[in-house]
Amino acid sequence: MLKKKENYVVAVVGATGAVGNEMIKTLAQRDFPVARLRLFASERSEGRIMEFRDTEIPVETLNEKSFEGIDVALFSAGAERSKTWAPVAAGSGCVVVDNSSQWRMDPKVPLVVPEVNPHDLKWHKGIIANPNCSTIQMVVVLKPIHDAAGIKRVVVTTFQSVSGTGQKAIDELMQQTTDLLNFREVKCNVYPHQIAFNVLPHIDKFLDNGYTREEMKMVNETRKIIGDESIRVTATTVRVPVFRCHSESLNIETGKKITANEVRAILSATPGVIVYDVPEKNIYPVPIDVAGKDETYVGRIREDETIENGINIWIVADNLRKGAALNAVQIAEKLVEMA
């Protein structure tokens, strides 16, 4: 566990990426007790200067001794780097909060959303996994409903922004949009098809069962986080031409009857959730309004009239904030609280 201190030496690994940048901002905005911040990225970023609390910090490259003296390291550098460097960091006495997919389904590594399963932090062995962005916002909404009515099955369709892929995808959407509006030829480098003015029912690699890895992440991670293997989840994940925020349509079947008004009341009292649901006045969550916000926004709450115990919900969250950086920092805050 983290040792009790007044301030902590913190590292961000993958500091120059979209999520790494957001982690640095989030540490500052939430006034995390940072005594010193160290920033790491690939060799091509070495020496680059980044700012934190009006202090200029040079970006370093990793080596075997990089984590000596570091208390907490927030990783967002991809699965391969996490596979290599997270054990090195943990072996140096550092607690790693890893945003990649590398450790999520490892039975020896807790997979944590602080509003849902903070108790799992107690058994970490130096590495804690940050869940998939689309899973995080979904389980924040599912857990209180599960506690109240027992969820049997979830059908989820996601509408995920390009920032979930990274800065290159953000740049590609911008460039393709500019090219199309100027009657120029469109080039596709990040995605297999044009993303501007299009939707792609394809996130990550396709598996033998016909689902993508992103879809199966949502299935498996949901069960692990909520701690109930009986919950059945089926997912279709879709990439849409939005820069920031993931949206999701949830169809939930519960064990006992729960009304739409009961769901509104439950979610209104749930930390980290904002019910934004007056559709007759065009009030419902949309990405452009949720970007930059910490909370998961919920709307279009209604009963599914085709089954006995069914609820439909629309949710939107900022995938770079709650879906990644914020959740990682919240885990670090919980570790400080528990120290």
What number does CATH give the domain 8-131+324-338?
3.40.50.720
- Cα distance between residue 10 and residue 73, in whole Å: 6
Confidence class for position 223, pLDDT limits 50, 70, 90: very high
SS3 label, residue 56: strand
What pLDDT score was predicted for residue 211?
98
Residue of 94, 146, 245, 246 with catalytic role: 246
What pLDDT score was predicted for residue 228?
96
State yes or no: pLDDT of 3 exceeds 90.
no
Backbone torsion region of residue 245, taken as left when φ is above 0, otherwise alpha when ψ lies between -120 and 50, otherwise beta: left
**End-to-end Cα spacing for the chain:** 7
Same fold, 8-131+324-338 and 135-318: no
What number does CATH give the domain 135-318?
3.30.360.10
Question: Structure pTM?
Answer: 0.95
Looking at every residue in the chain, the average pLDDT score rounds to 97
Looking at this protein, which amino acid is placed at residue 71?
A: D
If one counts every other C-beta atom within 10 angstroms of the C-beta of residue 253, the result is 18
Angle at 132 between CA 126 and CA 133, to 5 degrees: 120
State yes or no: pLDDT of 127 exceeds 90.
yes
Residue 188 bears catalytic tag: no
Q: So where are the chain's domains? A: 8-131+324-338, 135-318
Instruction: Report, as an integer, the average pLDDT of 325-329.
Output: 98
Q: Which of 239, 237, 238, 241 is nearest to 186 (CA)?
A: 241
Residue 246 bears catalytic tag: yes
What pLDDT score was predicted for residue 1?
78
Q: Which runs of E-coded beta strand occur in the chain?
A: 8-13, 34-40, 49-52, 55-60, 72-75, 95-98, 127-129, 151-160, 232-239, 246-254, 273-275, 296-303, 310-317
Instruction: Report, as an integer, the average pLDDT of 46-65.
Output: 94
Strand 151-160, strand 246-254: pairing: antiparallel
- Cα distance between residue 267 and residue 196, in whole Å: 34
- Cα distance between residue 120 and residue 225, in whole Å: 9
Q: What is the DSSP string of 154-185?
A: EEEEEEE-GGGT-HHHHHHHHHHHHHHHTT--
Residue of 94, 124, 133, 146 with catalytic role: 133
Give just the sign of the alpha carbon dihedral 12, 16, 19, 22.
positive
State yes or no: pLDDT of 116 exceeds 90.
yes
State yes or no: pLDDT of 143 exceeds 90.
yes
pLDDT, one tens digit per residue, over 241-284 is 999 999 999 999 999 999 999 999 999 999 999 999 999 999 99
